[in-house]
Amino acid sequence: TFPWVNYQDENLNISIPVFSIHGNHDDPTGAEGLCALDLLSASGLVNHFGHSQSVEKIEISPILMQKGRTKLALYGLGSIPDERLYRMFVNNQVTMLRPKEDQDKWFNLFTLHQNRSKHGPTNYIPEQFLDDFIDLVVWGHEHECLITPLRNEQQLFYVTQPGSSVATSLSPGEATKKHIGLLRVNGRQMNMKKLPLKTVRQFFIQDVVLADYQDRFTPDTPHVTKKVEEFCYAKVKSMRCWRNGGFEAFNTSRFSQKFVDRVANPKDVIHFLRRREQKEDIKGVSPTKVYTEGLRVEDLVKKYFEAAEQTVQLSLLTEQGMGKAIQEFVDKDEKDAIEELISYQLEKTQRHLLARGVTTEQDIDAEVTFFKSLPQQAMSRAKAHRLERGDDRDDRMSDGDVAMDSDEGSSPFPQPTRGRGRGAGRGRGGRGRGKGRYHICIESNQTEDYV
């Protein structure tokens, strides 16, 4: 350990000495109870104090400083699990030692790093636990900047909460202006000067209730979704916004792309919050909770074709492939996704028909229908063969998880692979419906995975 405070070492040139307690992220651990601050302290860079090694009883001895007639007693207590420290305070196992000489002439400053807000019955430290001879408490750990000293009317001391120097979470408390404090002490009098930090990354949060803007639009207003999106866009340009209240949601991914180069968290710019509405049933007996749940684009496509007539069913494409193409169009604004899907599937189907030598219209229809469903049939047969062999290693994927659609780059008839002479050639029938195995190639991120 460093034998004395660093500014008293003749070998070190210390302009402004730093005294620091440890927090919960650099909690001392191990047999010797060391933390990161101990490395800086042993090097003479900072003065680490307030470290208590006992888990049963704590005695806090102050660092005494004097300049002119001003005497400062600096107390410190590094981070301890709140429940343990709470229990020690209740059992009177925490003692703050005071100077023997001129006790009433010292300015007593106490620094600690614990929960100030109540997170549970014992998961915080009440201010009433602290001694009433303290003049000022510098409270760490809490991130909200409340640096102006507030008086505790019961203990008659002041508490300042500097907060974090940067925004580390998406919460209203982190959106307040960040400050540090310059404390001046003269005798028993003090003055805290707030100094705003100028290089902190900006963080904005605001609640916007659309029901408060009924003069602009209501849920029944024509093109209300587009108008709400434009309204939120204007809000985000000036601030940032949340929204709620009975309106249809617009696409957040496409909306967030407008701010990719201007904000650090474009995906979190807009959050849709829907409240549960209380409605009475027809008889007015009891209120009914109404829940609104969003549907994926794939679900909407599937639901549409399930209810559609036979004349508008897909012939070349599958519902899964079409759903994913529409998803790309909606979420990522890929305007060519659907066109590319159709062109790709059309070319692949034409090559298949040429390879099969089909000429009549009836045979073409039958072959196209078979070609569309072939990959799914192959996967079903592969799973059946695997179960017959008693090999269930890959049963983690259910039927609904299979992503092999004819419009996803699968190739039902690739080149034969070398093996033990058990390829597709042994099957019966021209379409390979016998006992031969299928080797299906899936194009995924420009690499080929063989199943």
Which residues are known to be catalytic?
25
Tokens linked to 412: 């039902």
Which phi and psi (to 5°) does residue 449 adopt? -105, 125
Partners of residue 182 on adjacent β-strands: 193
Find all residues with CB under 8 Å of 154, minimum gap 6, and list them.
127, 128
Alpha helices for 205-246 (secondary structure H): 224-238
Which residue has tokens 């290089």? 199
Please state whether 68 falls in left (phi above 0), alpha (psi between -120 and 50) or beta.
left
Alpha-carbon span 165 to 328, nearest angstrom: 40
Q: What one-character DSSP code corresponds to residue 411?
A: B
Nearest alpha carbon to residue 50 among 29, 21, 27, 26: 21
Report helix, strand or coil for 152.
coil
Tokens linked to 345: 């599937």
Nearest alpha carbon to residue 255 among 228, 273, 222, 274: 228
Q: Are 380 and 386 in contact (CB under 8 A)?
A: no
Q: Alpha-carbon torsion 92, 96, 97, 103, what sign? A: negative
Q: How far is CA 4 from CA 1, 245, 275, in A?
A: 9, 62, 60
Alpha-carbon span 392 to 171, nearest angstrom: 46
Alpha-carbon span 190 to 136, nearest angstrom: 9
Tokens linked to 419: 């093996």
What is the gyration radius of the CA atoms in the chain, in angstroms? 35
Helix (H) or strand (E) holding 37: helix 36-42
Tokens linked to 370: 């078979």
Crossing angle (nearest 10°) for helices 319-332 and 337-356: 150
The CA dihedral of 222, 223, 229, 232, to the nearest 10 degrees, is: -10
Partners of residue 73 on adjacent β-strands: 64, 108
